[in-house]
Amino acid sequence: MTSILEVSGQRLRANVRGIDHTLAEAVAPSDGRAHPALLAVIKANGYGHGATICAPILARAGVPWLGVTDAWEGAAVRESVNRIELDGPPPSILVMSGPPGDAAGARVAAEEVVRHALTPVVWNAEQLAPLAAASAGDQPVHLEIDTGMSRQGVPPGEALQRLLEALGRQPGLRLDGVFTHFATAEAADARQTTRQMELFEAAVAAIFSSGGKPGWLHVGNSSTIDNAAPAAASMISRLHALAGATGARVMVRCGLGLYGICLPLAPDAPASERLRPRLYPVLTWRTTITSILEIPEGASVGYSATFTADRPMRLALIPVGYADGLRRSLSSRDGRTGGWVMIHNRRAPIVGRVSMNLTTVDVTGIGSMPKAGDDVILLGDGVSAEDHGRLADCLPYEILCGLRGVPVSA
């Protein structure tokens, strides 16, 4: 293996504490109710951190809910949690994406859901029958309300009412939760989020008026927790009030923040961050130097000779490239700097183009004389997924989910 993805359980637990603390601060402390619960999103293989590595750590930290992509990822996560001893009950697992659209795929997914005690998300009547057929009774489901994403979810109004009636005709299914997803939670003005929250409140009122009694209401993501701009910050307290009026419990979902990252608020408003300063990067992506090369002034480096040395340079070759998830857009060329790695706690800039499995970095200015076999940090302290995302013009989500390697617990 040419590189290693190390996951820090200590930092992951610290981030859970920071998230819990922020959620507690987001609601009135005097009403006597528990502060919002955390649903830890570990879908997409834990955003590249390894879902089956993160799940036991989060379970031991007392997180009540985990969010996975599909029934098969949920099955693997359930098995990883079942292998450990816990002081309390194991977390519930929410399958956040809907089942396959074909009948055979939906039936197999439903069987996996029931077999591994998972809770699926539903939003149309066609999804109910396979679950009811697989269930032995009392299968919980969470209903997604589409308040503005136009993705998953049932819109409020007549479509919601018809779905509630269809759900009522499936006695083996139980409405355990209702939720929505905010499209622009990182926006400080919160105009779309406010409108989505209003639609969600109306949908919840309609559900309870129709006799539904979900035990959980949840909204949000890491930016919802982070965003302390006045209009945006009110969303968690509004959810808390809504749950209190209905007797349900409130929950907020958090994914990216678990791993030490939040999206920047828009417009740039760092003073409105309430979660981000409490977070630590969980992942360290590391490799070692393959060899050292001295090149003279005027030598070209890499494909297409896009970089020419303007002085004698000392280069380190590392055995990682875009096939491993190190973006080609981190390349440098004459007149344009690119990304960097950390060697001996110093920045080593990428020189020339990142190639498929190899990258060269400049270690000329690192006085401790790096040598073959020395440690290289590709992501971690000193170089973040946010840094890579800015240079690659993409989100840190894409950087983390694009890493190709097997995560290990550090």
* Cβ count near 32 (within 10 Å): 7
- Report how far residue 54's alpha carbon sits from residue 16's, in angstroms, rounded to the nearest whole number: 12
Closest to 66 (Cα-Cα) out of 85, 80, 87:
80
Question: Torsions phi, psi of 279, nearest 5?
Answer: -105, 155
Which active-site residues does the annotation give? 43, 303
Question: Torsions phi, psi of 185, nearest 5?
Answer: -65, -20
- Report how far residue 219's alpha carbon sits from residue 240's, in angstroms, rounded to the nearest whole number: 11
Closest to 259 (Cα-Cα) out of 368, 400, 387:
400
Residue 330, SS3 per DSSP? helix
The tokens for 378 are 């590709």
Closest to 310 (Cα-Cα) out of 355, 364, 346, 380:
364
C-alpha to C-alpha distances, 255 to 41, 54, 312, 396, nearest whole angstrom: 4, 12, 45, 12
Q: Are residues 292 and 371 in contact, defined by beta-carbon separation less than 8 angstroms?
A: yes
- Report how far residue 60's alpha carbon sits from residue 89's, in angstroms, rounded to the nearest whole number: 10
Q: Are residues 348 and 361 in contact, defined by beta-carbon separation less than 8 angstroms?
A: yes
- Report how far residue 164's alpha carbon sits from residue 68's, in angstroms, rounded to the nearest whole number: 25
The H-or-E segment that residue 199 falls in is helix 191-209
The tokens for 402 are 């694009």
Sign of torsion over alpha carbons 145, 147, 151, 155: positive
Q: Find tokens 């622009």 and name the residue.
A: 184
The tokens for 125 are 């009547």
The DSSP secondary structure of 142-173, one letter per residue, reads EEEB-SS-SSSSBPTTHHHHHHHHHHHT-TTE
